[in-house]
Amino acid sequence: MLQTSSELPDFFSRHRALLEQAVAATAARDHWTPYPESPSKSVYGEDAAKNGEAAFQEQLGGHVELAGHPGDGRVSAAETSPYGFELGISYPRVAPDEAVAAALAATGPWRDAGPDTRAGVAAEILARLNAASFEIAHAVQHTTGQAFVMAFQAGGPHAQDRGLEAVAYAWAEQKRHPGAARWSKPQRKGGPQVLDKKFTPVGRGVSLLIACNTFPTWNGYPGLFASLVTGNPVVVKPHPGAVLPLAITVRIAREVLAEAGFDPNLVILAAEEPGGRSAAVLALHPDVRIVDFTGSTEFGDWLEANARQALVYTEKAGLNTVVLDSTDDYRGLLGNLAFSLALYSGQMCTTPQNLLIPRDGITTDQGPRSADEFAADLGTALDKVLGDPARAAGTLGTIVNDGVRDRLEQAASVGRTVRASASVEHPEYPKAVVRTPLIARLDAEGDRGTYTREWFGPVSFVIGTDSTEHSLRILRETVRAHGALTAAVHSTSEPVLDAAELVALDAGVHLSENLTGGVFVNQSAAFSDFHGSAANPAASATLSDPAFVTGRFATLQSRRPAPAEETTDA
């Protein structure tokens, strides 16, 4: 039941100032966010936490109904909380062809609405997602295994930041050209040639979001919002283990779209059971023209090779690397790095894996430290970070799935284990699988086959090299060949930092230098830090930059002679 246009809310006017601030923030790159990251009552209100949890609990064992959604029947997603219970939630069942057809059928008025209206609708969706941050936080916690505060921040406000950032880029790029212009070319004789021209941004076609298990909203929102704002309908295909956070997102998006007078099928949920193949089927559909994917290198490479009718934006895996040369704050370095490894049990695509250090060691404000001593010190720093069981659980979260657990067990027999992974009992959830990070000592020469693979999860290697120069060479070679989402260096020498910066440019990876305080290499802030670079094999997309949005639409032009009465005086 569509409303008549006179009754329709004007979301663009409501959010215009925010959108303009967001565009300015992408250019300034200082700290900026409209979505507070603190889950406190003073920010989100007295009852927000309680209501959000209740909203989550009410969905357990139930069915998520989406009014007007295509398809029929139900999908039992078999989501299991890594904290040890079944979610038991079912979702609408829709066949790939039905999803694409419904999305296509919704496109026309969305195209005709123009970039301002689309950006306004997107900003309203984000405002309501922000209001639902507690509900989403519980959904993220119990699908990804993140600890609650992280699930709130990364799954809520930080994901919304990344979504708004994509809205800002998409909106601004569509407005690079005017909606209309008059072209007047002087002639040697007589009056000018005068044409009136129209320019219309037109979406590329149906967009497919293939989301991941660990950060369904944070990694999913940029593609979802970039496609939507550039005029494309979006079919959201969640990971079977993390459907609920995106189901809530789709529900809210559809509510706003319908209120704004559009077909809610501009955003469709394509949930499926574990083991389904609908991601691959959807990705090859001839009308699917954009694919956003976060996940394994194997499936990402398959998409890039096979979904040839589509623009494919991937974030895959890589070898996140730290080069250790010297430091004037050894304790800060160890504490910072230990926390980076422990956070969400190393299950971030940005967690360092390869720690490169000269075998003979580095100079520090605590005296020289050999590679072996550094490895031992890092293990001790981890013990300290994880010393208090309650705080440890809040940092580690849980192991997201059996694949990570199996890999961790395999890593115990690799190189020389310096710090073994251990089980930790969760204070609230006795069935949760909680594991501390493993650190193994490898050598740059002998163990290349081991450290040039990604070991996603709480597995890191202290790798002995000949020298810092050698470390930088390995950084360059391995990241160029295998990719990375993050790189870091610790050095007190400006020439070494300069060399590291050049190597990072060569390798195509963003670089963090001398982080010893409260900022961690695995964190990136929307509107200031880029995530991914599209310049190494780990990702073909950057969250977010103009390249992330420009391919999602074309600016189509029409031109006609200007009315004679308007041109005779020219």
- Choose among 316, 109, 354, 118: nearest CA to 219: 316
Applying the rule CB under 8 A, the residues between 167 and 186 that interact with a second copy are: 173, 176-178, 181-186
Tell me the pairing of strands 234-237 and 206-210: parallel
Count CB atoms within 10 A of the CB of residue 40: 11
* Binder of a second copy out of 193, 363, 417, 450 (CB under 8 A): 193
The smaller minimum CB distance to a second copy, of residues 376 and 497, is found at 497
The window from 24-32, 80-88, 364-372, 438-446 that contacts a second copy (CB under 8 A) reads 24-32
The smaller minimum CB distance to a second copy, of residues 55 and 181, is found at 181
The smaller minimum CB distance to a second copy, of residues 181 and 284, is found at 181
- The answer to the question of residue 189 lying near a second copy (CB under 8 A) is no
Shortest reach from residue 553's CB to a second copy, in Å: 8
CB-side neighbour CA atoms (13 Å) of 186? 1
92: amino acid identity, one letter: P
The smaller minimum CB distance to a second copy, of residues 277 and 560, is found at 560
CA angle 517, 520, 526 (to 5 degrees): 120
Cα separations in angstroms, 177 against 161, 174, 201, 547, 558: 26, 7, 9, 16, 13
Cα separations in angstroms, 104 against 233, 381, 555: 7, 54, 19
Q: Phi and psi for 81 in degrees, rounded to 5?
A: -65, 130
On whether the CB atoms of residues 267 and 94 are closer than 8 A, the answer is no
The smaller minimum CB distance to a second copy, of residues 103 and 132, is found at 103
Q: From residue 289 to residue 318, what is the string marking binding to a second copy with x (rule CB under 8 A)?
A: ---------------xx--x----------
- The answer to the question of residue 105 lying near a second copy (CB under 8 A) is no
- The answer to the question of residue 161 lying near a second copy (CB under 8 A) is no
The smaller minimum CB distance to a second copy, of residues 420 and 505, is found at 505
The smaller minimum CB distance to a second copy, of residues 31 and 277, is found at 31
In angstroms, the CA 125 to CA 253 distance is 5
Shortest reach from residue 406's CB to a second copy, in Å: 32
The window from 120-128, 139-147, 195-203, 406-414 that contacts a second copy (CB under 8 A) reads 195-203
In angstroms, the CA 552 to CA 223 distance is 10
* Binder of a second copy out of 71, 300, 379, 508 (CB under 8 A): 508
On whether the CB atoms of residues 472 and 503 are closer than 8 A, the answer is yes
Question: How far does the chain reach from its first CA to its final CA, in angstroms?
Answer: 49
- The answer to the question of residue 63 lying near a second copy (CB under 8 A) is no
Count CB atoms within 10 A of the CB of residue 301: 13
The smaller minimum CB distance to a second copy, of residues 429 and 530, is found at 530
* Binder of a second copy out of 14, 20, 29, 388 (CB under 8 A): 29
Q: From residue 513 to residue 552, what is the string marking binding to a second copy with x (rule CB under 8 A)?
A: xxxxxxx-----x--xxx--xxx------x--xxx--xx-
The smaller minimum CB distance to a second copy, of residues 467 and 558, is found at 558
* Binder of a second copy out of 2, 105, 420, 556 (CB under 8 A): 556
512: amino acid identity, one letter: S
Cα separations in angstroms, 14 against 36, 124, 259, 429, 474: 19, 8, 14, 43, 51
Q: Which residues contact 48 (CB under 8 A, 6 or more apart)?
A: 41, 131, 133, 134
- The answer to the question of residue 197 lying near a second copy (CB under 8 A) is yes
Shortest reach from residue 474's CB to a second copy, in Å: 19
Q: What is the 3-state secondary structure (H, E, C) of 5-25?
A: HHHCCCHHHHHHHHHHHHHHH
Shortest reach from residue 533's CB to a second copy, in Å: 5
The smaller minimum CB distance to a second copy, of residues 432 and 539, is found at 539
On whether the CB atoms of residues 319 and 478 are closer than 8 A, the answer is yes
Q: Phi and psi for 527 in degrees, rounded to 5?
A: 70, -5
Token digits of residue 98: 């039905």
Shortest reach from residue 512's CB to a second copy, in Å: 6
Cα separations in angstroms, 285 against 32, 223, 250, 289, 545: 39, 18, 21, 8, 27
- The answer to the question of residue 131 lying near a second copy (CB under 8 A) is no
On whether the CB atoms of residues 487 and 512 are closer than 8 A, the answer is yes
Shortest reach from residue 478's CB to a second copy, in Å: 17
Q: Which residues contact 125 (CB under 8 A, 6 or more apart)?
A: 225, 252, 253, 256, 257
* Binder of a second copy out of 66, 509, 526, 543 (CB under 8 A): 509
Shortest reach from residue 525's CB to a second copy, in Å: 7
Count of residues interacting with a second copy (CB under 8 A): 69
Applying the rule CB under 8 A, the residues between 475 and 504 that interact with a second copy are: 497, 501, 504
Applying the rule CB under 8 A, the residues between 198 and 227 that interact with a second copy are: 198-200, 202, 204
The smaller minimum CB distance to a second copy, of residues 185 and 277, is found at 185
Give the chain's length: 570
The smaller minimum CB distance to a second copy, of residues 441 and 482, is found at 482
- The answer to the question of residue 85 lying near a second copy (CB under 8 A) is no
Q: From residue 442 to residue 481, what is the string marking binding to a second copy with x (rule CB under 8 A)?
A: ----------------------------------------
Contact set with a second copy (CB under 8 A): 26-31, 38, 111, 173, 176-178, 181-188, 192-193, 195, 197-200, 202, 204, 304-305, 308, 497, 501, 504-505, 508-519, 525, 528-530, 533-535, 542, 545-547, 550-551, 554-561
